[in-house]
Chain A
Amino acid sequence: MELVLAIAVGVVFGSGIWLILRPRTFQLITGLLLMSYAVNLFIFAMGRLWVDKPPITPTAGVDPAQFADPLPQGLVLTAIVIGFATTALYLVMMIGARGLSGSDHVDGEEPRE
């Protein structure tokens, strides 16, 4: 499991890096989406992997060792929502820049060489 998740994070992150180095704005936004998956999973993995042990404590006085770590989960939850907001912001910048510059290149103009 650990190895599978590690490889998964690596593959998604690598795809994200490839995409954000591309010249088109759409490629950049997809790259950011992929990177945010990878980074969220990475942060989540800091709490180690737990199967069938959600941090829901039905009674008081439980043994904390029997539950998944709630802290990375809380952090990742907010990260997901904020990620959505920044994606929206980037999207609007993207279409706005395209409208202003007439190009969907990240620099706002086609490269001249």
Chain B
Amino acid sequence: MLLASLILIPFLGSALAALMPQDARNRESWLAIAVAVCGLLIALALFPQIASGEVLREEFAWLPAQGLFFVLRVDGLAWVFAVLVLAIGLLVVLYARYYMSPDDPVPRFFSFLLAFMGSMLGVVLSGNLVQLVVFWELTSLTSFLLIGYWHHRADARRGARMAFTVTATGGLCLLAGVLVLGHIVGSYDLDNVLAAGDQIRGHDLYLAALALIALGALTKSAQFPFHFWLPHAMAAPTPVSSYLHSATMVKAGVFLLVRLWPALAGTPEWTWVVGGAGVCTLLLGAFIAIFQHDLKGLLAYSTISHLGLITLLIGIGTPLAMVAAIFHILNHATFKASLFMAAGIIDHESGTRDLRLLRGLRHKLPVTATLAIVASAAMAGVPLLNGFLSKEMFFAETLHVGGDRNWWMSFAAVAMGMFSVAYSLRFISIFFGTPAQDLPRDPHEPPRWMRFPVELLVLTCLIVGIAPGISIEPILNIAVHSVLGSAAPDYDLAVWHGLNLPLFMSVLALAGGVLLYIVLRRHFDLQQREQVPLIHRFNGAQAYETTMLQLTRSAGWLLRRIGTTRLQSQLVLLMLMLLVVPPILAGAPPAWTRIPLQDFDPLFAAIWAIGGACAVAGAWMAKYHRLAALALIGGTGIVTAATFLWLSAPDLALTQLMVETVTTVLILLGLRWLPPRLESVDTPAQSPTRVWLRRSRDLLIAVGGGLALAALTYAVLVHPASDTIADFFLLNALGGGGGSNVVNVLLVDFRSFDTLGEITVLAIVALTVYALLRRFRPAPESAGVPPQQRFEADPASRQTPAQQADSGYLLVAGIYMRLLLPFMGVIAVYFFMRGHNLPGGGFVAGLIFAVAILVQYMLAGTVWVESHINLRPHRWLGFGLVLACATGLGAWLFGHPFLTTHTAHVDWPLVGELHLPSAFVFDLGVFTVVVGTTMLMLVALAHQSLRAHRLPGEEAQAVEQGNADGRAN
């Protein structure tokens, strides 16, 4: 659990942080600090084991059937990265406390930041590749949320979108790559994958896996040609830039490459893909950085260039290059995080980040200036600072690659070194010169604790730079040994290696850089240049926007070309597919074995002659006479119910009959709101030929579909049934479920989870219907009282429905029905009680009960019923669902799985022994939900007619009011 808590604590902290009030800046930062300190303490507690070379693992079952486990794995590399994430995180939250303005909604900020911390720890600690990708995408997501933190700003939204599109797309590539890797190795476990390096490199799919994984890593680490998202991500608050976009998240890409080095590296392809991207990036990034006018933009391009340096080292792939890569990851994190924080301080204090405005800040910000200058020196690779050491190792490696003849790599390295010196000079130039007078704010030193993280990081740069052997070497050793294993080289982190070629290159880079800066400043108008010379046409961001625009445009075009908003054409296609696709997908038909058929019964044929005729006639009449069509289709429904009864399905027959009843009432209630048939529409401008063609086509599809289903049904019916689980249900219903009606036991016991889902759907549909009807606006011409009710000669038309039932022409029927209510209630109870053993059950009983109430509504009218019975269908719904769930949960109390049934045998006086399965209570829940659903829907629909009676009066009043006003005027 120790490793799991390392990831869990930040996520818990994130949830907690989200719940705090808007202005809780202090509490938020204390919480975040506590989370980071907790994580650091756990990590430090693991140090002795890690230092002794152990690999710690924790496994949790995830999808054990698929061989997937949630694995947390800590080796040296993961540990070093985890400490990096936590330590920089701690400093960043401290810094953010002072950076964030009291007006910013801080709970969101700290919540996202902690969620990112958890995701990033998830990436570094994952021992399973699929799980790693999940956390990887989580870091993209949290990065998106953090870049877009000030979402009222267009640049923040744009930057967030761009970063997310690029990194998440890369993440998808990574997922594909990981799946290929898993396919090659046969396991997603990191240990297995790392051990199978030769197998992977020899496999046909190696190149595909390498390309996909490289795409994931290169997009994440902002490598050419995907580097353009990082400068736009600078719209994020500076603590985010410092944390995600320099020290940690962008390192996830290079981390992954280092992680998978034993599995993938060592081939020419690896060097070309990874090293090629690296060398392009480091030159491009460093060159562009010189010409930035935004403080953070300069740092962003410099980050891109340094990431390119690391990628190139990984691409070179020799053991010593790997040492340099890991070393530079750590060094870059320290100096770049501190530089971003310094940039944030300058922005915070002076109100601008524009390099063209900022001058002479050392007078106002002496301490910050000193710190930033030292950190920039580390970035430029000045001796006695940490950047110098790893950069010199880099120079040495480039010499090694080319051998004696090929010097190109070394030239590129020195050029990059010169550029980085030049942009570092550009960065520190803001501290020198005469103090600027036109700054938005008068700068002064920041609060003590806002500067503290910078001080600590710069101190680290110095310590590592001066005494690497005692400060960083032990930690670096741990990481290196975990990656390289026995291939770990001997190396010596010393400041002075004697007069050699790398030192000469360093000196050359330093001198050349200074010279370059001076030349640019003097002769090329560096301070005022609008564009990056030579390569300003290669604008990745522009290409990205163009691609996005084209995609949107072509999607719209495609939709216009092959899509339609008309329902009929969609349905025609759907039906055609129904006819065409199954024969294509189906294989050869099985052998035509026949089973003994049921004897032909003329009566059965006769009822279906009626049923079929009803269906066809209904299909014809639906256009001309809705009521007749409804009655005819009801006839087919009755025949269907009779068929169920005939063919040994009494439960279905009962249910079908009751559903038939409520459906008919339902549609009758709805018919009122439909317009009369428009005779004129049938003969509009459409030519008769077209109409005839369309109808023939539809008829053809209908006949074809009918024939196909008939043939299929017949083919199935004459074949013997295959073995199903039916026998199990039949054998165990009585013994295991305590009921002899297998269908009911199936519903409330064997498959009760299914039924629980179903009644939930019922409840949702009922509520949806209710909600839709609350907003229902009838068409004007059907809003009033219908003509049938306005027939003045009929005395009933002057009575309200309640009067009709109490003293009008419905008096007799109304009283009969009132007397019938208790009987129907008893019948409902009867069908419910016997349901477990004989046909019946919660569904049927619920429908019967609903019909009993419905009958009252129909005869006595809504007003009368509701003044006498207080039904609250919503409560029935809620109560039924609670009852069903509670029954299921009750099984947990006894240590059984959800919805396990228990049958109690109770001896009741007079009644005798009674079986009381808990499924009975579940069935009661079903009953209640069915009653609630039916009542809610029908009553809501019936209430619409009441409005019709109200509306004309109100309208008349309004008109009278208008007339009165008119006269008054």
Contacts and interface: CB of A to CB of B under 8 A. Distances in A.
Contact of B755 (A20, A56, A78): A78
Interface in B651-678: 651-652, 655-656, 659, 662-663, 666-667, 670-671, 673-675, 678
Contacts of B779: 98-99, 102
A18 to B, nearest CB: 4
Nearest to B724: A71
A70 B711 CA distance: 24
A31 B702 CA distance: 11
B416 interface: no
Contact of A113 (B646, B686, B701): B686
A80 B656 contact: yes
B623 A3 contact: no
B843 A81 contact: yes
Interface in B803-845: 837-839, 843
A2 B718 contact: yes
B746 A81 contact: no
Contacts of A11: 612, 615-616, 706, 710
B937 A15 contact: no
B640 A77 contact: no
B352 to A, nearest CB: 54
Interface in A25-65: 25-27, 29-31, 33-34, 37-38, 40-42, 44-62, 64
B567 interface: yes
B740 A57 contact: yes
A6 B485 CA distance: 71
Interface in B702-744: 702-703, 705-714, 716-718, 721, 724-727, 729-731, 733-735, 740-743
Contact of A71 (B667, B717, B718, B726): B726
Nearest to B754: A78
Contact of A91 (B568, B670, B710): B670
A12 B531 CA distance: 73
A37 B604 contact: no
Contact of B765 (A55, A57, A88, A102): A88
A57 B714 CA distance: 29
B20 to A, nearest CB: 41
A1 B819 CA distance: 43
Interface residues of B, number: 118
Interface in B600-644: 600-601, 604-605, 608, 611-612, 615-616, 618-619, 622-623, 626, 629-630, 633, 636-637, 640, 643-644
Nearest to B735: A60
B778 A5 contact: no
A15 B619 contact: yes
Given A41-B640, A91-B670, A99-B776, A107 B566 contact: yes
B674 A56 contact: no
B647 interface: yes
A81 B762 contact: yes
B710 A23 contact: no
Interface in A60-85: 60-62, 64, 67-71, 73-74, 76-78, 80-85
Contacts of B708: 10
Contacts of B761: 82, 85
Nearest to B759: A81
Of listed B615, B626, B708, B839, residue having the most chain A CB within 10 A: B615
B366 to A, nearest CB: 70
Contact of B746 (A27, A59, A71): A71
Contact of B666 (A15, A91, A93): A91
A10 B618 CA distance: 15
A30 B727 contact: no
A11 B769 CA distance: 31
Of listed A18, A93, A94, A99, residue having the most chain B CB within 10 A: A18
Contacts of A64: 726-727, 730-731
B623 A27 contact: yes
B565 interface: yes
Contact of A5 (B571, B616, B637, B643): B643
Nearest to B632: A30
B684 A113 contact: yes
A21 B575 contact: yes
A87 B663 contact: yes
Contacts of A87: 663, 666-667
A13 B705 contact: yes
Given A57-B742, A80-B652, A107-B566, A51 B646 contact: yes
Contact of A50 (B565, B622, B647, B778): B647
Given A47-B726, A56-B740, A70-B742, A2 B707 contact: no
Interface in B170-218: none
Nearest to A61: B731
B597 A1 contact: yes
Given A30-B622, A87-B663, A48 B717 contact: yes
Nearest to B649: A73
Nearest to A3: B714
B623 A22 contact: yes
Nearest to B846: A81
Nearest to B713: A6
A94 B637 CA distance: 22
Given A81-B762, A82-B761, A104 B674 contact: yes
A79 B135 CA distance: 40
A19 B717 contact: no
B798 interface: no
A29 to B, nearest CB: 7
Given A17-B575, A80-B656, A26 B622 contact: yes
A18 B742 CA distance: 37
A37 B637 contact: yes
B93 interface: no
A50 to B, nearest CB: 4
A29 B751 CA distance: 30
A10 B637 contact: no
Of listed A20, A37, A81, residue having the most chain B CB within 10 A: A81
B711 A26 contact: no
Contact of A57 (B605, B623, B733): B733
A57 B674 contact: no
A11 B619 CA distance: 11
Given A62-B731, A99-B673, A104-B675, A27 B608 contact: no
Contacts of A82: 758, 761-762
Contacts of A37: 615, 636-637, 640
A30 B659 contact: no
Given A12-B612, A50-B648, A71 B725 contact: yes
A41 B643 contact: yes
Interface string A93-106: 11110111011101
B295 interface: no
B233 interface: no
14 contacts: A10-B708, A11-B615, A12-B706, A17-B575, A17-B705, A47-B726, A48-B721, A55-B741, A55-B742, A56-B740, A74-B746, A76-B649, A88-B769, A98-B673
The 10 closest A-B pairs by CB, nearest first: A14-B706, A10-B710, A6-B714, A18-B702, A64-B727, A68-B648, A1-B598, A15-B619, A95-B673, A55-B742
Interface of B: 565-568, 571-572, 575, 595, 597-601, 604-605, 608, 611-612, 615-616, 618-619, 622-623, 626, 629-630, 633, 636-637, 640, 643-644, 646-652, 655-656, 659, 662-663, 666-667, 670-671, 673-675, 678, 681, 684-686, 698-699, 701-703, 705-714, 716-718, 721, 724-727, 729-731, 733-735, 740-743, 746-747, 751, 754-755, 758, 761-762, 765-766, 768-769, 772-773, 775-779, 837-839, 843, 930, 933-934, 937, 941
Given A44-B644, A80-B656, 10 more contacts: A4-B600, A12-B636, A15-B618, A17-B705, A26-B629, A67-B730, A81-B762, A85-B761, A95-B673, A98-B673
